Amino acid sequence: MTTACAPGKVILFGEHAVVYGRPAIAVPVTQVRACAMVEDGPLGQGVIIDATDLHLRHQAGDPVPATSPAYALEATVRNALQRLGIGGLPDLTLTVSSTVPIASGMGSGAAVATAIVRALAQHVGQALSPAEVSQLVYQTEVIHHGTPSGIDNTVIAFGQPVYFVRGQPIETLRVGRPFWLVIGDTGSQSPTKDVVGDVRRAWQAEPEKYEALFDRIGAVATRAGRAIEQGRPSALGELMDENQELLQAIHVSSPQLEKLIHSARTAGAMGAKLCGAGRGGNMIALVARAKAQRVADMLRTAGAVNFVISEVGAASSMSG
């Protein structure tokens, strides 16, 4: 039996614009994670995928629509086995579990795929580099999101804060001084593929307007990256607020997100914004450590279904 896990993630700056070649910053969130367990099965069984959280049990090779979660899970297994040089479908039982919220901007699909790839590689005694894992997981991201930026598979596979520009070499970020985030979940799922598709159609209809907005979002991410590496986390709050205004301008916020963002700021957050695709899912707030629980409590009162308090740059977090 072999088990491997992978963290969730949040995008701090640059979502949506990153799809169009602008920089974005993302960090792993280790409080939530996906795990995959691989066991040898009886002769002739083939691959059985058991996704306990989805109440799904799937025999690889059985017909399944592309919209089913089983389709992406099986594709991940097949792609990984091919990369590992294993022909056909060996006799394995793959059990997947996850505490990463689905369709909420925390990289659930990439975390599950990363855990699967790592578990399969370890089970057959092979080592894959983070870059190789990321490349395989990107193939799954295409199934989930259509035109993914590549940031989710990168930050989750590498397990480090990253400054990401599509098509350019990966840059990991050195966190000059740790800082605290409160992540609040609206409880409303928002499939990334749908929101990204809407933004693409808007960009096609008004390219000059959207290119200018993407430029401004990218500039915010660049400034934020410098502040993080220079150990100036206090500068990030204003940048978060600026990024949120730009995300509102491309119409990816929502009343639920706005309510949580306003509540966080009222409770003392230095800045707050949506994270991920938007129109649901999660928001993030930059907080002083002493105010983290107060902000989290205010988010709960404002309707957040749960929260995570996470320290970026150190392995310390808690949830509620």
Which residue ranges form the domains of the chain, and what is each CATH number?
2-172 (3.30.230.10), 179-319 (3.30.70.890)
Asked if the model's pLDDT at residue 145 lies above 90, the reply is no
Given this model, what pLDDT does residue 317 score? 41
Asked if the model's pLDDT at residue 149 lies above 90, the reply is no
Active site (annotated) includes residue 215: no
Percent of the chain with pLDDT over 70: 98
Token code pair at residue 225: 């990256």
Asked if the model's pLDDT at residue 318 lies above 60, the reply is no
| Span 73-105, pLDDT tens digits | 999 999 999 999 998 899 999 999 999 988 777
Given this model, what pLDDT does residue 86 score? 94
Q: Per DSSP, what are the bridge partners of residue 267?
A: none
Question: What is the mean pLDDT of the segment spanning 8-27?
Answer: 95
The C-alpha atoms of residue 291 and residue 278 are separated, in whole angstroms, by: 25
CA dihedral 260, 263, 265, 267 (to 10 degrees): -140
Lowest mean pLDDT among 3-17, 40-54, 146-160, 228-242: 146-160
Q: Of 50, 152, 194, 297, which is the active-site residue?
A: 152
Asked if the model's pLDDT at residue 127 lies above 80, the reply is yes
| Span 231-283, pLDDT tens digits | 999 999 999 999 999 999 999 999 999 999 999 999 999 999 999 899 999 99
pTM (2 decimals)?
0.84
Q: How much is the mean pLDDT over the chain?
A: 93
